[in-house]
Amino acid sequence: MAGFLIAEAAPAKLNLALHVRARRPDGYHELETLFAFVEAGDVVRIGEGDGFSVTGPFAGALAGEGDNLVTRAAASFAATFGGGPWRIELEKHLPVASGIGGGSADAAATLRALARLQGVPLDDTRLFACADALGSDVPACLLGRTAIGRGRGEQLVPIDGAPGVPVLLVNPLVPVPTAAVFKAWDGVDRGPLPEGGMGAIVHDGRNDLEPPARGIAPEIDEVLDVMAGQPGAMVARMSGSGATCFALFERAEDCEAAKRAMWPDWWSVATALI
């Protein structure tokens, strides 16, 4: 971390269940979702100076971007709390636009890092206002813990999670535009999240965006079929609007073995809930 003042993890976000209830007049959708986070993710580093750079396996996907959620987060923080400019480096390990909140997680990590640098409490309502203005998933990523999200996903109620549960993430590396997936949703309200704790919600919940995403990218079908057939897999489901899918396991050994069974041209990582 030479030359940087702080490094902040940007854990990948999972929608363990995602129920779409209605289209809203403002163009968004009314959602009920169970957010959770895993150990795998990106890293944001902040130092003195100015400028933005990207490193890591998926740096190329953001190459040449002059404006992104990280730079917008820094600008929003500066406008609200002062400070800056800063030199920011994003170490990009998560696929871009893949249903696991990569950009939102990076923006939230930027806000957290700057807040720590300037002594701003992480529960400052102004910080959450910055997050909410940046995108629907950014408040959940700023909170960074298991929570039920309603509204656009920004109305958060923390619940007990299951830290340490092994998780396999798999993405077939095909583009699945979020707007196209929401547009393809059939508009049928299939009901709210199940009652109860995290286990009940995961067991009895669903992802209403999975069918339209599978229609746009049939590769998701293959990913889910392969993941569901792995020994020890308790549930296999798509996260967000895709194309990343996840499987929860009882044992880390089964999760690691399942990773080795995935096709080599898929992105995959064995990780755990936090």
Which domains, from first to last, does the chain contain? Answer: 6-158 (3.30.230.10), 166-272 (3.30.70.890)
Is the omega angle on the peptide bond into residue 85 within 30 degrees of 0, that is, cis?
Answer: yes
CB 154 within 8 A of CB 139: yes
pLDDT at 5: 96
Consecutive 10-residue runs of the chain (274 residues): their mean pLDDT? 88 98 95 98 97 94 79 98 96 95 96 98 98 97 98 97 98 95 97 97 98 97 98 98 98 98 97 98
Helix (H) or strand (E) holding 212: helix 210-216
Distance CA 247, CA 105 (A): 20
pLDDT of amino acid 2: 63
Assess whether the previous peptide bond of 243 is cis (omega < 30° from 0). yes
Say what the pLDDT of residue 61 is: 86
137: annotated active-site residue: yes
Tokens of residue 98, six digits: 């893949």
For residue 267, give the nearest of 92, 150, 74 by alpha carbon. 92
Given 42, 92, 106, 137, the catalytic residue:
137
Cβ atoms of residues 244 and 220 within 8 Å: no
CB half-sphere exposure, 99, CA atoms < 13 A: 31
Contact 84, 51 (CB under 8 A): no
Find where tokens 């190459």 sit. Answer: 63
